[in-house]
Amino acid sequence: MASSTVSCETRRVRRQLPSSPWLFAAPGLLVAGAFILYPFVSTLVNSFTDRRTLVPGGFVGLANFRELLHDDMFWIGLRNSTLYVLGVVPALVLLPLLLAMLVRKTIPGITFFRSAFYTPVVASIVVVGLIWVWLLDERGLVNSVLETIGVGRIGFLSDQWLILLSAMAVTVWKGLGYYMIIYLAALANVPRELHEAAAVDGAGALRRFVTVTMPAVRSTMVLVAALASVAAFKVFSEVYLMAGPDGGPAGEDTTLVMLVQRTGTGLTGRVGYASAISVVVFVVTLVLMLLVLRADRKEES
């Protein structure tokens, strides 16, 4: 009798629930469609038009992409974005791993250091950028110290390459804590017996790191490389704050995303041309992801 009552109650509840699972997924799908799918499709369509901010524009085919091939600023932006990836990604793959190995030790006060290393991650990039601009300014703290010790003042914010290097340093400093947390989760799954066995065999700290730790967290290193590559290629805030809206001297520090912002905004912004640059950014980041994943599969085989 009891089982019959439960069965009837179950059928009643099922009749009250939505008949299609898509109804449960609808809110998430609507959000994804409004904020991800629609902007992507809109950008793709606009890249084939001559649309401006206040003018709808007409279809121009591949004209925007052909113009990119002859645009010096586009090649400067592509060069700077590529250099940014090459300079930032190796540091963000290796340094957070070393930092995670350091802070995973159980010593008094280690929780404070973990929190301190993670603080830049939650800080606003605008605030972080302004602090670094103040530190690296011609009359800032860093140059004052360098002048005191006899090195002299260095134009961190006036030299083309030093601006780019300074922005890279900000990106690495701000991202260390984020990737450190990812590595801490991966290191927690590495059996301690492997390190103990390697130590018994006479392996030193460096050899244990190369032969035990790195192979054990290799998949996590691939994930970090992929995330850091995409983020580095799409860099905007750090370079914008360091170099200014014009991209430094003669615009030589402009990145692709800065070029999109500069070209597609304003009352006379070339939305179609900026969309074409955005499509190139998307394709390049996709290729970077595929290259990282292919290298991972090749290493596994």
Look over the chain and give the mean of its residue pLDDT values, rounded to a whole number.
Answer: 86
Which DSSP symbol is given to 59? B
Residue 288 has pLDDT above 90, yes or no: no
| CA 152 remoteness from chain centre | 34
Give me the sign of the Cα torsion angle 142, 145, 149, 154.
Answer: positive
- C-alpha separations of 229 from 74, 85, 242 in Å: 19, 6, 20
pLDDT of residue 4: 54
Determine the pLDDT at residue 9: 57
Q: 209-239, pLDDT tens digit by residue?
A: 888 888 889 889 998 999 999 999 999 999 9
Predicted model pTM: 0.86
Mean of the pLDDT values across residues 22-45? 88
By CB atoms closer than 10 A (0-12, 13-18, 19+), residue 23 is exposed
Structure letter (DSSP) for residue 249: G
Taking a C-beta distance cutoff of 8 angstroms, is the pair 247, 167 a contact? no
- pLDDT level of residue 254 (50, 70, 90 thresholds): very high
> Is 102's pLDDT higher than 60?
yes
Task: Give the pLDDT confidence score for residue 294 in this predicted structure.
Answer: 82
pLDDT above 60 for 19: no
Q: pLDDT tens, 120-156?
A: 999 998 888 889 999 999 888 999 999 888 888 898 9
Share of the chain above pLDDT 70, in %: 92
Residues 232, 167 contacting (CB under 8 angstroms): no
Of 213, 223, 162, the C-alpha closest to 189 is 213
Q: Which residues contact 101 (CB under 8 A, 6 or more apart)?
A: 183, 187, 209, 213
Q: Which of 239, 113, 223 is nearest to 177 (CA)?
A: 113
The mean-pLDDT minimum among 17-31, 39-53, 176-190 falls in 17-31
CA distance 89 to 289: 13
- Cα–Cα distance measured from residue 215 to residue 265, given in angstroms and rounded to the nearest whole number: 46
pLDDT band at 176 (very low <50, low <70, confident <90, very high): very high
Domains recognised in the chain with CATH numbers: 72-300 (1.10.3720.10)
Dihedral sign computed on CA atoms, order 30, 36, 37, 42: positive
Report the SS3 class of residue 155.
Answer: coil
Give the CB-side neighbour count of residue 102, counting CA atoms within 13 A. 12
Span of 45-49, 186-190, 254-258, 282-286 with lowest mean pLDDT: 186-190
pLDDT (0 to 100) of residue 17: 52
For residue 292, is pLDDT > 90? no
Continuous H helices in 36-109? 38-46, 63-68, 72-103
Q: List, in order, residues 6 or more apart from 71 with CB less than 8 Å away.
A: none
